Structure 1
């Protein structure tokens, strides 16, 4: 069996996608056989959270420690070199394929309560291809007796075209970013994008810039949708879009891994319902009451 489990193949028109059982991961997304995300082989262990679903929190919890409703909890330190709990609890678990058609699939995982996160959640991920691209929906229902802290986001690495991140341009409608410490990426406060050279509200070349930050202060289009465009020199590229009210944050990472084959081969664009360390700050944290549900959707499309 593949390390990523069952492979779910989807197709609609010029779009095709492959979703895996492990992590409900988006392993491939193509348009006319042009890759829109950095993929990986069916026989490979997924590298660097490529295409994973992040829940019940995206990004990091500092020291893996948080307090909710007066109870202090210690999460597993899944980023041991920085001492953080990274990207939730479901990126490396198997998801059940509930239903599948030619162009869509729904997967489910029942998150069991643990001392670190004592909240049972019914998690669903739906992938659907149509003429407008791939619609990627994550929903969660609290099946427990108490309130649960919650956040989510995806982890695709977008591919602008030929070459690497240095060869592409970025359009990012964000006025602010979350500054972090250089070693452990601990949040220290929100600053303007101009202060760090991160102003991409008008499209400009990425070049050799390093980014691994969460952005906010998003400007949505008239339909309430925030759109991040990544383009190659020939004008083609990829766009990630979402409801800016549902996900007021987006993590951008230039995938810097010097000396590794994956160095700067894709731009991570991760819409998030909350910022890093929201379990501690409470900023935009979703609190799911017993029986309550939360749902949000992202779309990735060719340009």
Structure 2
């Protein structure tokens, strides 16, 4: 079986003049990922379908400039705080903090200059059975108004079974709040079109209702009898037809589910299963995070397009963002997002493709690594 490989090459220049690299991770069985050091962006994720035909299953843009100026977080790392913080305010250890607001009067995805706009340092990691690259970022004390300096690493790994994993590790020198996520837009059909015909299953018994500007209304509620009951596979377009006020107000899903922990506790567990029409491709999301934000591209309006000029229209993709619950710093009953100096925050999310028939056997030698020239 071919070995996993990793190749690094120049890609472009960021708005600040910094060089941007592209890292190509190849599983050796047809799954390939392209990652940019700008924003840690997953620029491409090529996955064979059931017939062996390969195409990318994530939305992308053609240049660094487009990602910097126009992107609605396509494929990017999100921080310091994924999702929303109401009015950009929270209190920690008796001190109130104000962070910049950038979404209808609230803070979204870490503010206007979040981790999706940063240059990440890349270090290839030799491994026996996978292609891996560790991206790192130092976020100084006061960055976007958040307390404490953060030392963040996020490692992309692509193994011989075709599983793409992201491992996060975060430390701080002052008490702060942290929720990291990844914002890939998935369309498993691998071609232009909407995801209304995809089926989605979310392994959760409750979700967080939100106001019309995306702020939690209170505790999570049971999904039973609502358009949020995805405990068994449901066609996305069929759920929209139920005309739940929560869906109609948002134009589709833009809500967080509370993932079941199971008897083994809050370790790595399945959060969702997404299936393309005719089961051409199947993807499972596994995570250690407590929540899963499902966003169905409600605000895509055709102003962005793929490299072939096909516009990204409403519901062209679905995001499955593993994270802490939205606005957790203002909800004592939510899983805590507080990180303190004596702690290390670990998190892992995996994207598995069970329709593939890879053996998953270990490689006989480390992956080949080609550095930037």
Query: TM-score, normalised on structure 1?
Result: 0.89
Which segment drifts farther, 222-231 or 289-298? Answer: 222-231
Specify the SS of the correspondent of 1:264.
coil
The reply on whether 1:87 has 2:131 as its aligned counterpart is no
SS in 2 for 1:49: coil
Contact 1:229 1:237 in 2 (8 A): no
Is 1:278 aligned with 2:328?
yes
Distance (whole Å) between structure 1 residues aligned to residue 180 and residue 284 of structure 2:
16
Confirm whether residue 45 of structure 1 aligns to residue 66 of structure 2: yes
CA distance in 2, matches of 1:193, 1:237: 27
Determine the structure 1 residue equivalent to 2:25: 10
The SS at the match of 1:167 is coil
Contact 1:227–1:242 (Cα < 8 Å) also in 2? yes
Q: How many residues align?
A: 295
Residue 107 of structure 1 deviates from its aligned partner by: 0.9
Instruction: Give 2:307's aligned residue.
Output: none
Alpha carbons of structure 1 residues 181 and 227: separation in structure 2 relative to 1, 3 Å:
closer
Larger Rg: 2
User: Going by fraction, where is strand more abundant, 1 or 2?
Assistant: 1
**Residue in structure 2 matched with residue 150 of structure 1 by the alignment:** 178
Give the SS at the match of 2:196: helix
Distance between the aligned counterparts of 2:115 and 2:290, measured in 1?
22
1:178 to 199, 205, 208: 208
Q: Is the 8 A contact 2:256 2:294 kept in 1?
A: yes
Q: Is 2:151 aligned against 1:109?
A: no
Query: Deviation per CA, 1:241-266, whole angstroms, max 9, x where unpaired?
Result: 224xx312100011113642322111
Aligned to 1:295: 346
The residue number in structure 2 matching 1:230 is 274
Alpha-carbon contact 1:147-1:290 (below 8 Å) kept: yes
User: What's the counterpart of residue 218 of structure 1?
Assistant: 260
Moved more, 41-50 or 262-271: 41-50
Displaced runs of 4 or more, over 6 A: none
Distance 1:169 1:227 in 2: 14
Identify the match of residue 203 of structure 1 among 227, 230, 233.
233
Deviation at residue 78 of structure 1 after TM alignment: 2.3
CA contact (8 A) 2:121 2:135 kept: yes
Checking the alignment, whether the CA contact within 8 Å between 1:52 and 1:155 is kept in structure 2 is yes
**2:187 aligned with 1:159, yes or no?**
yes
Pair 107,265 (structure 1): closer, same or farther in 2 beyond 3 Å: same
**Deviations along 1:174-207, whole A, 9 cap, x unmatched?**
111110111x111103222234311111112111
User: Which residue in the other structure is 1:98 paired with?
Assistant: 123
Structure 1: 5+ residue stretches without partners:
none
Return the structure number with greater relative CO, CA threshold 8 A, min gap 6: 2
CA change 1:192–1:124 in 2 (3 A) is: same
What residue ranges of structure 2 are gaps of 5+ in the alignment?
Answer: 1-11, 49-53, 241-251, 303-310, 356-373
DSSP-derived class of the 1:207 partner: helix
Q: Retained in 1: the 8 A contact 2:198–2:274?
A: yes
Give me the CA root mean square deviation: 2.3
**What is the TM-score normalised by the length of structure 2?**
0.73
CA contact (8 A) 1:216 1:250 kept: yes
1:301 Cα deviation from its structure 2 partner: 2.6
Deviation at 1:275, TM superposition (A): 0.7
Structure 2 residue matching 1:126: 3-state secondary structure = strand
What corresponds to 1:118 in structure 2?
A: 147
SS at match of 1:188: coil
How do residues 240-255 of structure 1 correspond to structure 2 at under 5 angstroms?
Answer: 240-243=284-287, 246-255=288-297
